[in-house]
Every structure is written in C-alpha cells, then in structure tokens.
Structure 1
Amino acid sequence: MPIGYEEERAMTNGSKVGFRSLIIGCGLAFAVACTPIVRNYGYIPTDAELSAVAVGVDTRDTITETFGTPTTTGTVGESAFYYVQSRFETLGPGAPVEVDRQVLAISFNSAGTVSNIERFTLQDGNVVALSRRVTEDSVASNTFLRQLLGSVGRFNAEDLISE
C-alpha cells in the first residue's frame, strides 16, 4: 500500500515533534545538571545571640549551655572555643568548592571567663603549609625473600659455635 501525501506529511510532523522534544529534554537536563548543589556544615551563633554574651561574666559552661558544644577548642588549656560554619558548592561533576566560611572565636582568660569574641571569614584565612616529616620503614620496602637472600654471607659460623 503506497503512502499518500497526508500520511507522509503526518510522519514528517511527528518526527519534527519528537526531535523538538528531544532537544528540549536535553536542554532541561543540561540546565538542571549545571545547577550548583549547596551544602552547609557546622553552626555559628548569630549576632543577636552573641549580644547576650557578657565579656568578663560568662564562663565556658554558660557558653556551652547557650550555644552548644563548640566545633573545636584551643589546644592549650581550652583557652578558646571555635564555632565554624562552611558552605560548599558543587557544580556538575566538579569537586566541591568552599564559597563561604565563618569562624567565631570566643577566648577565655585564666579564670575561665570570656575575654574576647572575634569573627573571621574565608577572606581572613591564610593557607598554612604543613611540613610532613615521614620516616621511611626500611623493612616495608624489602620483601621477605630479599631479606633472606640479603642475609646470606653476613653471619659467621664461628660466632654460633663459640657460645
């Protein structure tokens, strides 16, 4: 049965509609894939919450009761509490990028009361180069067979007999 003009035209229009749908679907998928995924980590008290803190009056315990456990503390005698909040964005298949960081440092004096409150941002931060000093283990680099064959000729039979 030969295809008439009307049937051929309907097939052409149908394929055009299918192609348009495919292009629109790919465009939407591309737009959604390029939308950044935002992840927030940590907690930092707001300025309104910080206004309730009295320097010289509040202690470590009252700060912990008010704001919760800090993200980290000072290394020497808990001289400070640090609350850290970070925001990361991931775009497509790329690695996450930190776009915002807030650090609240609450310092304490020797009596344990608040002596200073400071807020830092990502722009205030400095990159710290860590010095990694690793001692290589000579045993790990040698296999059992290498150690066994390496000891051939290193011992003296006289040392074993003389005892």
Structure 2
Amino acid sequence: MTRTILVAAAAAALLAGCAGSRERKGYILDQELASAIQVGVDNKDSVSRTLGRPTFTGQFNENEWYYVARNTATLAFRLPRVTDQTVLRIRFDQAGNVAGIDRTGKELVASIDPYGRQTPTLGRRKSFFEDVFGGIGIAGAGVPGAGNAPAQ
C-alpha cells in the first residue's frame, strides 16, 4: 500500500513539471482608456495621467512613447511563445501635443534563431593549445618600458 502511494506521488510530481503556464508581461492595456487619447487634443501630461508612464520612450526621439503588453504561453520545458501582443505608440510634436497614435499586434514579433550556438567570426581559427599557450612570450612586446625598448 505504501509503495503504491509513493509511486503515485512520484508520478504526480513528474507530471506537474510538464504543466503549461501563461504569463502577462508589460503594460496592462485598457482599451477604453487607450481609445480616449485623441490626436491634437491630448498632450504629454494628459496621456501620462490617463495611461501612466510608458513602457519605454523612443531611443532616438523622446517624443515617441511606447506601451507594450505581451501574453506568453509555455508548455513543459519549451521556450515561451507569444500568444498576444499589443504595442501602442504615441507620437508627440515639438510642443508636446499628440501628433499620432499607432497600434500593432503580434505580427511584428520576430523569431531569431541563433546560428549553431556560436557567433561566426572572421580570422584564423586557433586550436585549444594555441589559445592556452599562444600568448606566452609576447607580453609587453613593443611596449615602451617593458624591457625591450631601445636604449636612449
């Protein structure tokens, strides 16, 4: 009887590791509040009061605010996949008034696949021993004051 309970508990623990999970990341976008923002009417202060601080501002233009909301799902030990994403971009003119509002979804999510877990580099390939012992004897070579500088 005890053995059956132990086997059942072990099986339950193993199956619990295979369960999926869902996560919500970033800004929680309220559709009514987002649709209340109007071009030419609102400014940075009113947008900040209505939607709160942006997720991030534009890297090259601080007059662009981004609100990013993303939902992901993970099954067992797989990498998370994006199930839903909304990016709300609000552009301001030089006076700080709303000049445009753009909304995109998960169609812009890029899947980046690394190349063989290595970064290809240009140049000569070194063996293990060349990497380990290749620097012996060249420390300070050509550096003034390292003992090999010409006498004055």
Q: After TM superposition, is the score higher than 0.5?
A: yes
Counterparts of 2:150 and 2:100, CA distance in 1: 70
List, as ranges, runs of 4+ consecutive aligned residues in structure 1 with deviation greater than 6 Å.
none
Aligned AA (1:68): G
Unaligned runs of 5+ in 1: 1-16, 129-141
Cα–Cα, structure 1 residues 58 and 145, in superposed 2: closer, same or farther, change >3 Å?
same
Q: CA deviation at 1:97?
A: 4.0
Is 1:31 matched up with 2:25? no
Q: CA deviation at 1:59?
A: 0.4
The corresponding residue for 2:139 is: 147
The corresponding residue for 1:156 is: 150
> 1:131-156: CA deviations, max 9, x gaps?
xxxxxxxxxxx9696324x3589533
Aligned Cα RMSD in Å? 3.4
The corresponding residue for 2:93 is: 109
The corresponding residue for 1:5 is: none
TM superposition score normalised by structure 1: 0.62
Secondary structure of the corresponding residue to residue 16 of structure 2? helix
Unaligned runs of 5+ in 2: 113-133
- Asked if 1 retains the 8 angstrom alpha-carbon contact of 2:34 and 2:51, the reply is no
Cα–Cα, structure 1 residues 88 and 76, in superposed 2: closer, same or farther, change >3 Å?
same
Counterparts of 2:91 and 2:2, CA distance in 1: 65
Residue of 113, 120, 128 corresponding to 2:104: 120
> 1:4-38: CA deviations, max 9, x gaps?
xxxxxxxxxxxxx3343234223322332111233
TM superposition score normalised by structure 2: 0.65
The corresponding residue for 2:67 is: 83
Cα–Cα, structure 1 residues 74 and 153, in superposed 2: closer, same or farther, change >3 Å?
closer
How many residue pairs get aligned? The number is: 131
The corresponding residue for 1:51 is: 35
> 1:61-84: CA deviations, max 9, x gaps?
111111111011123442311011
The corresponding residue for 2:51 is: 67
Counterparts of 1:122 and 1:111, CA distance in 2: 32
Identity %: 30
Counterparts of 2:136 and 2:8, CA distance in 1: 63
Cα–Cα, structure 1 residues 44 and 117, in superposed 2: closer, same or farther, change >3 Å?
farther
Q: CA deviation at 1:88?
A: 3.5
Range with bigger deviation, 117-126 or 85-94: 85-94
Aligned AA (1:156): P
- Asked if 2 retains the 8 angstrom alpha-carbon contact of 1:84 and 1:101, the reply is yes
